[in-house]
Chains A and B, each alone.
Chain A
Amino acid sequence: MLTPEELARFRAGESDAVRAVYREYGRLVYAVCRNQLGNPQLAEDATQQTFLKAWRSARTVDPGRDLAPWLATIARRTAIDVHRQESRQVSSDIDDVPASHPALVQEPVAIERTYDAWQVRQALDELPPDEREVVQLQHLEGLTHTAVAARLGVPVGTVKSRSYRAHKKLAGKLGHLRAGFD
């Protein structure tokens, strides 16, 4: 969480403070935008617009409050705007658009899913690197404990203990998802 002084400097547009806010929340904002839009370039655009909008309305934020829910909401709305802009471009000349274009294959994600995505990414980023790596290999690549151990060059028992610790933390942090906000 940012201190009131850091928030004040962010509001003033001081580049080091903007950079600090980005480093605190940039990965989360990008993850939400990427989850909403799929396309990495559109997600970059949406992330940049999210921070610009946040800066423009920073005076409305109470110092001392966590920026996360506020930024997540801005990110989701910005991603929807970007999605609509892309959709409008598509409607003008649909024959020229590849079938994989995000505006053709994706609908905006529901707010609950946005908040879930934010929280999951935040929980993942808070894991120690060795535990995060195991979770990534298990879920993203679908590897078994044995395969993860072979990939990392560590004993299977080490993978199991890292996996257990990581999933215990994730279950603890994410057990109350869907509290919802907007």
Chain B
Amino acid sequence: MAPDTGRHDANEDAIDRARIDYLAGEIGTDLRLGDADRIVLDELRELLADPTLWAEPPAELEDAVVAAIAAEAATLPPLEGPFDQSSEDPGVAAPAAVPGLGDGVPAIPASAQAPTDLAAARRRRQERSGRSRWTRPTMLVAAAAAAVVIVAGGVLLLRPPADRTFDVAFQATELAPNASGSAVMIKSDSGWEIKLNVTGLPRLDNGRFYQGWLRNADGVLVPIGTFNEGTDVVLWSGVSPDAFPTLTVTQEEADGNQDSSGQRVLVGTAVEVK
């Protein structure tokens, strides 16, 4: 398009008008438009008529994206994640993470975290330089105290969480628009017990059945069991909803193909009940 310089003459204005009318499909062709103009406008019209460009993402996709990133973020120590705050702190080297405390652990003690401004950086450098004046007994006591803190923290972290529970609210797909329901996922020593309660799914028999799946952010599917109708179903999973937060139900046939048919009837995201 011609730039709006305020010096358009009548001919340029007419060409602009012809472009707009051609794009809107109100004129078949116009001698004032060159081949290059028409090619670009034809492609634009083709794109405007492409239904994929008008498609709206399903509402639940936002929650799925947020849950997937939150799940992965939770597995990283804060200073090893994609946002390394220390890299934005001028003149201060990134502190090293304390190894061996496991995933999601705020491994860096407060005193070792990156300062957030230059004054804090200066204070920290002064603290570091003052360390050489510590006596050996003081350092031994401090080291022992640190070890106690680390061991105590490790014990707390290694202890399995009691009665962890996730809820799933299902969204129906176009394949089963009348379906609705929920699931509860409860941690036990054997794995994750998943209780489904779904209505609006027609019963499948004669080699056809429903199958539950847990999916992680990379699209890896783990089968969690099959059933014929949706009331009082109990499934089991050996993977955690922390890492595989998306619960789907598909329609399947006993055809020897163990992969998902992709015919999803229900989709939901596991959310931990606090």
Contacts and interface: CB of A to CB of B under 8 A. Distances in A.
Interface of A: 8, 10-13, 15, 18-19, 22-23, 26-27, 30-31, 34-35, 38, 40-41, 43-45, 47-49, 51-52, 55-59, 82, 85, 89, 93, 96, 116-117, 120-121, 124, 135-136, 138-140, 142, 163-164, 167-168, 170-172, 174-178
A31 B55 contact: yes
Contacts of B187: none
Q: Is the interface of B mostly helix, strand, loop or mixed?
A: helix
Interface in B41-72: 41, 43-45, 47-58, 61-62, 64-66, 68-70, 72
Q: Is the interface of A mostly helix, strand, loop or mixed?
A: helix
B231 interface: no
Contacts of B243: none
22 contacts: A8-B88, A18-B70, A27-B56, A31-B52, A34-B53, A35-B50, A40-B58, A44-B57, A48-B61, A48-B64, A48-B217, A49-B217, A49-B218, A52-B218, A55-B73, A59-B87, A89-B259, A96-B257, A138-B25, A171-B16, A171-B41, A175-B40
B262 A41 contact: yes
Given A51-B65, A116-B43, A121-B53, A172 B257 contact: no
Given A30-B57, A49-B219, A117-B47, A15 B70 contact: yes
Nearest to B264: A41
B82 A57 contact: yes
A80 to B, nearest CB: 14
B73 A13 contact: yes
A179 to B, nearest CB: 12
Interface of B: 1, 16, 19-21, 23-25, 40-41, 43-45, 47-58, 61-62, 64-66, 68-70, 72-73, 78, 81-85, 87-88, 217-219, 255, 257, 259, 262, 264
Which of B21, B49, B52, B257 gathers the greatest number of chain A CB atoms within 10 Å? Answer: B52
Contacts of A58: 82-83
B241 to A, nearest CB: 16
A136 B54 contact: yes
Contacts of B20: 164, 167-168, 171
A170 B25 CA distance: 13
B48 A140 contact: yes
Given A30-B56, A140-B54, 7 more contacts: A8-B88, A44-B57, A51-B68, A55-B82, A93-B257, A164-B24, A174-B44
B62 A13 contact: no
Which of A19, A57, A85, A142 gathers the greatest number of chain B CB atoms within 10 Å? Answer: A19
B52 A38 contact: yes
A135 B61 contact: no
Given A31-B52, A52-B72, A172-B1, A13 B83 contact: yes
A30 B40 contact: no
A121 B54 CA distance: 7
A144 to B, nearest CB: 9
Closest 5 pairs (CB-CB, A-B): A13-B73, A11-B83, A175-B1, A139-B48, A30-B57
Contacts of A176: 1
Given A19-B62, A26-B57, A139 B73 contact: no
